[in-house]
Amino acid sequence: MPELRVDELLGRLNQGLAPLILLAGEEPLIIEETLDRVREQARELDYSEREILQVETGFDWNRIGAATDNLSLFASRRLIELRMPNGKPGKDGSAVLKAYAQNPPADTALLVITGRLEPAQRQSAWVQAIAKAGLMSYVWPLRRNELEGWTRDRAKSRGLNLNRQAAALLADRNEGNLLALAQELEKLALLSDGQPVGLAEAQEAVADSARYAVFDLPDAVAAGDVARALKITQRLRVEGEEPVLVLWGLSRDLRVLADLQATQAAGGALAAVMSRHRVWKNRQARLQQLAQRAPRQAWARLLARAAAADRAIKGAEPRRGWDELIELATRAARLAGRSDNRG
């Protein structure tokens, strides 16, 4: 069975509970709400006994077999939840899960729950065995351009009449923190008492709970979004992120862009630059576009400024490291935006 989206998984549950389900991903809120739906379906199908196994260091994998063997006299079916946050069962666990998938016991459903799985983990033998014998769904993080729609849909499901501007505000202030966004919607639903909620009401009621990762900053810069680049840098500073890591994320793209421009001027192959820097395929076209449209050596000059920021962060220069990072990020985003306008 191929990997399913969450909505596809929930649709399949209407046909009955599979003997094996793997639910993994990077959005804890969506994972937990999906688990609630699975449990609800299990209860409706008379899986009246539920057992939770938490995989920790030294976990005894024989407990899975023991759990399936010891069905209570008062239960007709059992749901076993195997929580494995890191998605790494090890050699013993992998063998147990593969063997279980080959011959799942009757009257028992095994629900395996993990967090993020790397591409190699999703192709591992135990994952593929579960996908073949049952169902697998991976919950990807919502993209920024999906967040506003998700906000409007969830508001509607809560009976909250939210206009587009208010939804955009909520999505922007809670980017990267879906749980906080869901909580804001619940609060607004209570405060509004069935009345429409517009931008003014949303501004008054909500907090700014956006959370960002280091890799969000290069994406904002490459998009030419100066305001977002500034907001992310300031938020990373407030959250106590290491400035050297923030600079590393920025400098990686600047290094690629400077190399692309130099290679282009020399008549070299741009594909070789992408390969040399191991740039993901979904970012290659954008970086190549920025390199081609920017003024000659513009990215190299910003890379030199990144070196100055590095010295400031390490105390080798009297300037403030975070101030240098903010200046570098906004300048780079501004250059990316100007490069777009040239096209």
What's the pLDDT band for 343 if we cut at 50, 70, 90? very low
Length of the chain measured in residues: 343
Rounded to whole angstroms, the Cα distance separating 278 from 272 reads: 10
What is the dotted CATH code of the domain comprising 6-139?
A: 3.40.50.300
For domain 216-342, the CATH architecture is Up-down Bundle (1.20)
> 52: part of which helix (H) or strand (E)?
strand 49-54
Q: Which fold has domain 144-205?
A: Helicase, Ruva Protein; domain 3 (1.10.8)
Rounded to whole angstroms, the Cα distance separating 256 from 279 reads: 8
Report, as an integer, the average pLDDT of 214-221: 90
What's the pLDDT band for 250 if we cut at 50, 70, 90? very high
Reduce the DSSP state of residue 81 to 3 states and report it: strand
Rounded to whole angstroms, the Cα distance separating 79 from 64 reads: 11
DSSP 22-50: EEEES-HHHHHHHHHHHHHHHHHTT--EE
pLDDT of 143-172, one tens digit each?
A: 888 999 999 999 999 899 999 999 999 998
What residue segments make up the domains of the chain, in order of their start? 6-139, 144-205, 216-342
Rounded to whole angstroms, the Cα distance separating 24 from 10 reads: 14
Residue 71: pLDDT over 60: no
pLDDT of 44-65, one tens digit each?
A: 888 888 889 999 888 999 888 8
Helix pair 144-157, 178-192: axis angle to 10 deg: 40
Cα-based distances in Å from 253 to 77, 167, 259, 262, 273: 54, 32, 10, 14, 12
